[in-house]
Chain A
Amino acid sequence: MAEDCILETRNLVKEFKGFIAVNDVSLKVRRGHIHALIGPNGAGKTTVFNLLTKFLAPTRGHIQFNGQDITPERPAQIARRGIVRSFQISAVFPHLTVLENVRIALQRKLGISFHFWRSDKTLNALDGRAMELLAQVGLESFAGMVTVELPYGRKRALEIATTLALEPELMLLDEPTQGMGHEDVGLVKDLIKKVSANRTVLMVEHNMGVVADISDTITVLARGAVLAEGPYAEVSKNPAVVEAYMGTTQA
């Protein structure tokens, strides 16, 4: 069923000056799934994200989104198509308020983002929706705070709220629980589960607890290439995976 597949890569390759970081990766992400991309450090997971969102240009290979070839597009175009990513290192606008962070994402759809003669009070119309989004990630009481002052876990939650503001069809999350304490990991996990209700999530995640609990499909990457693919129960028993990855993980 071709239409069931929201994102597909064909023989994706990325070389950095002769070093092959991503090697012939063909991925299929099914609509509505939470798809986890796992693998040891340096396996090429972040690079795959950069290729999918065109922050890096693939050396070879193709990317299809909803059956359309998006390989030649620019990153901002990809985002406007509904593929929105987060970053491995927290991606907030530190000196804007928490509310403004979400509003930046909401504002684009108004089509007034080039209007330098218009007062930013126009944007107050977005506050209601922004507060809803903040409430979804438990940040409504932080709305007026300058983002740089938020604790780390909250910043990551804000990132998710900002990403959700765009109502992406496909959300790419790069290690959403990295560096978080135990409770925060649980919160973010539940949050991802919750927001995946009517969209697709592709996430890089090191925490095997999270992966086992919420992902429908797992792709294991090692040295740039796909090592195994399938549901957690299957993949975790694969001897090649155990050797390449499970043995070295801290989780």
Chain B
Amino acid sequence: MNRKRVGYAFLLALMLVAPAVVYPVLVMKILCFALFACAFNLLIGYTGLLSFGHAIFLGTAGYVAGHSIKVWGFPPELGLIFAALAAAALGWVIGSLAIRRSGIYFAMITLALAQMMYFFFLQAPFTGGEDGLQDVPRGKLLGVVDLADDYNLYYFVLAIFVFAFWLIHRTIHSPFGQVLKAIRENEARAISLGYDVAKYKLLAFVLSAGLAGLAGATKTLVFRFATLTDAHWHTSGEVVLMTLLGGMGTVFGPVVGAATIITLQNELADKVGSLVTVIMGAIFVVCVLAFRRGIVGELGALYKRMTGTR
């Protein structure tokens, strides 16, 4: 559909000029969390798997990127790729253990394994414990572009986001994505049609973990440090909130959800302090009770009703 193309082009143009109006570091933070939420949505929205330990991929990749860049002297692009691969590998391990179970058990196993990793990070010397892994240099992209400059980094982060968003979009709209949707819709039927659903779920899990890792690694580059917060289960909860608020199982929902939550947190942090948690909780409740399809889901339904199409 051509209207869609125009829409995407318009959004991209908007993102290209955004740093002229908005503080680029804030937009980069939003992009990182939007990517994280999109990766999470690939599982919950399109495969029907609720991972409740997804922050561990964000956090792990953050540390891997930070350590490889700071200590081993990796150039930034290599550090990011390496970190995303590390998260994907961790995803393979956690996924292999968790996909044997479904529903609440799946969620609990992902949470438990993520907690184990969290305590490992808390104790391990290279993470800097509570202080975090600090002073990660942003370096030069391909040895040329100085990423210490916020604007240069912004366009690099935007490129990463666009690539990852495209990859997720493609995955959803691929033969593999069709099978994922079939599994989400009726797992037993997918099995009876000859699909080894465990393998499909595992690949989806690994992709999602790798992309969540890419988000975490990018975030380390943006903020110049990797922190325990990113690996904490609070963050796992936050990504659930972002995805539900924006619209689970919609392409743009997680982006809208992440942007809303991050902006709110940013605006409210100095004004209401720790009340932020209460406000987030309230948003969650309202979202689940009043508009279960999320912002994008509800808008989409409204649009369909108004135009009378299905």
Query: Which A residues are closer than 8 A to B by beta carbons?
Result: 53, 55, 74-76, 79-80, 84-87, 91-96, 100, 103-105, 107-108, 110, 112-120, 122-123, 146, 162, 166
Contacts and interface: CB of A to CB of B under 8 A. Distances in A.
24 contacts: A74-B196, A75-B192, A76-B197, A79-B192, A84-B192, A91-B188, A93-B182, A93-B185, A105-B193, A107-B179, A108-B194, A113-B179, A113-B195, A113-B200, A114-B176, A114-B199, A114-B203, A117-B174, A118-B175, A120-B173, A120-B175, A120-B177, A123-B175, A162-B193
B176 A116 contact: yes
B182 A104 contact: yes
A93 B186 contact: yes
B181 to A, nearest CB: 6
B170 interface: yes
| A-B residue pairs, 7 tightest by C-beta | A79-B194, A93-B185, A116-B176, A91-B189, A116-B171, A80-B194, A76-B196
B188 A104 contact: no
Contact residues on B (Cβ < 8 Å of other chain), bracket = 20 to 34
B310 interface: yes
A100 B178 contact: yes
A169 B305 CA distance: 45
Nearest to B181: A96
**Which of A74, A105, A110 gathers the greatest number of chain B CB atoms within 10 Å?**
A105
Interface of B is mostly: helix
Nearest to B42: A116
Contacts, number: 102
A113 B196 CA distance: 11
A76 B185 contact: no
Given A96-B182, A104-B182, 13 more contacts: A55-B192, A85-B192, A91-B186, A92-B186, A93-B182, A95-B185, A104-B179, A104-B193, A108-B195, A114-B203, A116-B171, A119-B173, A166-B194
A79 B193 contact: yes
B193 A166 contact: yes
B191 interface: yes
Given A104-B182, A114-B203, A53 B174 contact: no
B65 interface: no
Contacts of A76: 191, 194-197
Contact of A103 (B178, B189, B310): B178
B120 to A, nearest CB: 30
A117 B199 CA distance: 17
Nearest to A79: B194
A29 B170 CA distance: 45
Contacts of B192: 53, 55, 75, 79, 84-87, 91
Contacts of A53: 192
Contacts of A100: 178
Contact of A116 (B188, B189, B191, B203): B203
Contacts of B27: none
B117 interface: no
A123 B179 CA distance: 12
Nearest to A55: B188
Contact of B185 (A85, A96, A113, A117): A96
A120 B137 CA distance: 41
B207 interface: yes
Given A93-B182, A108-B195, A115 B189 contact: no
A85 to B, nearest CB: 5
A92 to B, nearest CB: 7
Contacts of A120: 173-175, 177-178
Contacts of A108: 193-195
Contacts of B179: 104, 107, 113
B41 to A, nearest CB: 15
A109 to B, nearest CB: 9
